[in-house]
């Protein structure tokens, strides 16, 4: 394992630094060549007479004459040859292997597309494609053009509501988000031989005058409603179709108005706002502790392991895992007594699912997490370097896949993980880290008829693709029963159930997570720091824990067509803030006919009696 990682690092180092190394060799050779010529001229500037003195013996005349000159020229010749070879290698790399035709450096190509002013001018010299919502209606386009005061201007009708999806495109700031996808020319379809690539590399295919249009699965009105629900809050919402993976809405707050990107003072403010992070997509690029919503994963793992009939004891003093002196308690010291899975999920009993996760053990819990799409690591330190998922989306558009790559959601299940650690992870605390998108996909797996996690889809018209089977269809059916119970008589019965009761049958799971966060200086807007005993600068963490509010779910119970995850930072208990937001959006989706009633099945005709 270590050898493989070392080889990858070595290859990455060499491939990324070859131009730099070649440049150094080239400069060193040129400097050495100039110095050698200068020294030769200086040292032998006054020896012309001595070298041709006829009184010297013949052997000395030869030593001071052509032979010495030949030796010095030999060194100059080799230095010059090496310099030429270095220059040749340098130009071969940049001409053939950095951006084609024989290869491409992804890092360099990305930087060139974003930072090179020549490429920006080329992009802005052509019109980008329009970005439509799922209805492909020009009146509800997400990015389009409008004619104003004699100029054609790029227009973003929803403004900040879609800023983390659509992005921006300007000559000064470059481009980000899906604006890059509608500016990129279509890839060439003709396959060329290596000889054609070599002979044609100097000529580029003509750039189309207008970029390709892009139709998204996003619903214009639902997206706007989601952004409105998050107004003046920090958080994210993802709503999707659990059977296909189509993203119906994906909002992050606070956002930014793409029209403000060219304004220098506003841009600097957006970049320096550490407390609110308006440029950050909280839906896909921010980690959160999922809290009790992750009990969905633990319950599904228990059902598939045939442990759903387990009964555990919930005590006021908490449950202390073997080998640990620290108990895992329920909120406010709640004591549920002897309790089974249905009741434990309904009332969100921490001790039940901590004990269930510990009994499932780290291997089975890790396997379950992997099936749900999480990346499993051996240690918490490794999980912090998880990075981004490159092929996460159901798409063949490389630009879309790149700009929308989410962070890997992580679960730690290595040999060093204790029962206490595993118990915390089983209730959504400790090492586990998830994105809001991943939590929506977990809710979608329970709602999916086959228990599948569907690859999320942003492009309309693609065939649904399953990422993995998170649980058996039997376990998925049981999970829907558990989640329906939460809405009917559990932690979501009031704030969420009261909104939809009598209109829609839904299932869900509330969640509350507590985490330490940096203390922000109100004057500078940056984290406060201090100097520790060793003289290092540290970030001061707030003594008050931040309480995040979660609610995941699906609807309708009998025929799930929509699943969601709602997360609000500092929202308190999930049933108070996140659940009502989900209820309002669910009713909005119903009014938009995104929830279709089940088609009535024709009853078989009766066989006439003879």
Q: 521-560: per-residue pLDDT in tens?
A: 777 777 888 888 888 888 888 878 889 999 999 999 999 9
In the predicted structure, residue 475 carries a pLDDT above the cut 70: yes
For the chain, the average pLDDT equals 83
CA distances to 55, 66, 219, 370 from 45, in Å? 21, 16, 83, 76
pLDDT tens track for 427-463: 999 999 999 999 999 999 999 999 999 999 999 999 9
Q: Which residues of 288-326 are buried (b: 16+ CB within 10 A; e: fewer)?
A: bbbbbbbbbbbbbbbbbbeebebebebbeebbbbeeeee
Q: For 109-186+207-216, which CATH class? A: alpha beta
CATH number of 222-591: 3.40.710.10
* Mean pLDDT along residues 510-517: 88
Count of beta carbons in the 10 Å neighbourhood of residue 168 = 21
CA distances to 95, 166, 258, 561 from 240, in Å? 44, 18, 25, 8
pLDDT attached to residue 610: 35
Confidence of residue 166 (pLDDT cuts 50, 70, 90): very high
d(CA 105, CA 11): 12
Domain boundaries, the chain: 11-97, 109-186+207-216, 222-591
pLDDT tens track for 346-380: 999 999 999 999 999 999 999 999 999 999 999 99
Better-scored residue on pLDDT, 82 or 307: 307
548 touches 291 (CB < 8 A) = yes
pLDDT attached to residue 410: 96
pLDDT tens track for 175-195: 889 998 887 565 555 666 656
In the predicted structure, residue 583 carries a pLDDT above the cut 70: yes
Better-scored residue on pLDDT, 387 or 515: 387
Confidence of residue 200 (pLDDT cuts 50, 70, 90): low
- Name the H helices within 294-397: 295-304, 341-347, 350-371, 380-383
Please determine whether the domains at 109-186+207-216 and 222-591 fall in the same fold group of CATH.
Answer: no
Q: Which of 5-14, 143-152, 461-470 has the lowest mean pLDDT?
A: 5-14
In the predicted structure, residue 6 carries a pLDDT above the cut 50: no
pLDDT tens track for 116-155: 545 555 555 568 889 999 999 999 999 998 888 878 888 9
pLDDT attached to residue 360: 96
pLDDT attached to residue 333: 82
In the predicted structure, residue 63 carries a pLDDT above the cut 90: no
Task: Supply 331's token pair.
Answer: 């909120």
pLDDT tens track for 492-509: 998 898 889 989 999 999
Q: Which of 98-102, 308-312, 368-372 has the lowest mean pLDDT?
A: 98-102
454 touches 467 (CB < 8 A) = yes
pLDDT tens track for 435-444: 999 999 999 9
Confidence of residue 88 (pLDDT cuts 50, 70, 90): low
Task: Check whether the bond before 556 is cis (ω within 30° of 0).
Answer: yes
* Mean pLDDT along residues 239-268: 94
pLDDT attached to residue 356: 97
Q: Which of 79-88, 317-326, 366-375, 479-488 has the lowest mean pLDDT?
A: 79-88
Better-scored residue on pLDDT, 154 or 235: 235
d(CA 242, CA 595): 12
182 touches 212 (CB < 8 A) = yes
């Amino acid at each position: 394992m270590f050898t493989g990682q070392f080889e990858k690092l070595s290859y990455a180092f060499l491939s990324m630094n070859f131009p730099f190394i070649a440049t150094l060799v080239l400069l060193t050779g040129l400097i050495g060549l100039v110095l050698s010529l200068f020294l030769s001229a200086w040292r032998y500037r006054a020896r012309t007479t001595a070298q041709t003195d006829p009184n010297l013996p013949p052997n000395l005349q030869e030593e001071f004459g052509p032979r010495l000159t030949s030796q010095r020229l030999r060194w100059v010749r080799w230095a010059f040859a090496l310099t030429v070879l270095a220059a040749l290698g340098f130009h071969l790399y940049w001409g053939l292997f950095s951006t084609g035709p024989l290869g491409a450096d992804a890092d360099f190509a990305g930087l060139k597309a974003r930072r090179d002013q020549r490429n920006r001018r080329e992009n802005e010299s052509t019109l980008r494609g329009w970005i439509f919502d799922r209805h492909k209606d020009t009146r509800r386009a997400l990015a389009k053009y409008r004619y104003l005061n004699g100029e054609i201007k790029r227009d973003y009708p929803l403004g900040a509501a879609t800023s983390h999806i659509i992005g921006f495109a300007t000559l000064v700031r470059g481009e980000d988000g899906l604006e890059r996808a509608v500016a990129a020319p279509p890839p060439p379809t003709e396959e060329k031989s290596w000889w054609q690539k070599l002979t044609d590399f100097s000529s580029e295919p003509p750039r189309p005058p207008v970029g390709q249009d892009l139709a998204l699965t996003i619903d214009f009105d639902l997206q706007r409603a989601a952004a409105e629900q998050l107004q003046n809050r920090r958080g994210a919402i993802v709503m999707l179709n659990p059977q296909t993976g189509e993203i119906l809405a994906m909002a992050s707050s606070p956002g930014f108005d793409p029209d403000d990107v060219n304004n220098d003072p506003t841009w600097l403010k957006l970049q320096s706002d550490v407390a609110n992070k308006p440029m950050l997509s909280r839906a896909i690029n921010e980690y959160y502790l999922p809290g009790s919503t992750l009990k969905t994963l633990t319950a599904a793992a228990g059902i598939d392991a045939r442990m759903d009939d387990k009964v555990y004891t919930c005590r006021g003093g908490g449950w202390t895992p073997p080998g640990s002196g620290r108990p895992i308690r329920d909120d406010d010291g709640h004591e549920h007594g002897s309790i089974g899975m249905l009741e434990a999920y309904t009332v969100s009993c921490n001790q039940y699912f901590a004990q269930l996760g510990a009994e499932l053990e780290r291997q089975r819990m890790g396997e379950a997490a992997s099936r749900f799409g999480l990346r499993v690591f051996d240690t918490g330190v490794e999980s912090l370097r998880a990075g981004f998922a490159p092929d996460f989306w159901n798409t063949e558009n490389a630009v879309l896949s790149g700009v929308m790559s989410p962070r890997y959601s992580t679960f730690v299940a290595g040999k060093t993980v204790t029962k206490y650690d595993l118990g915390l992870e089983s209730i959504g605390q400790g090492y586990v880290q998830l994105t809001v998108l991943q939590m929506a996909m977990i809710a979608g797996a329970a709602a999916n008829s086959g228990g599948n996690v569907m690859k999320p889809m942003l492009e309309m018209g693609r065939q649904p693709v399953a990422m993995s089977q998170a649980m058996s269809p039997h376990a998925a059916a049981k999970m829907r029963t558990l989640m329906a119970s939460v809405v009917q008589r559990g932690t979501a019965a009031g704030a969420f159930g009261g909104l939809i009761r009598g209109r829609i049958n839904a299932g869900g799971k509330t969640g509350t997570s507590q985490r330490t966060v940096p203390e922000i200086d109100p004057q500078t807007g940056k984290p406060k720091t201090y100097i520790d005993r060793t003289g290092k600068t540290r970030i001061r963490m707030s003594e008050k824990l931040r309480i995040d509010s979660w609610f995941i779910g699906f609807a309708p119970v009998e025929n799930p067509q929509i699943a969601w995850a709602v997360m609000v930072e500092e929202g308190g208990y999930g049933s108070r803030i996140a659940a009502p937001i989900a209820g309002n959006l669910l009713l909005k989706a119903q009014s938009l006919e995104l929830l279709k009633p089940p088609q009535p099945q024709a009853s078989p005709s009766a066989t006439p009696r003879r």
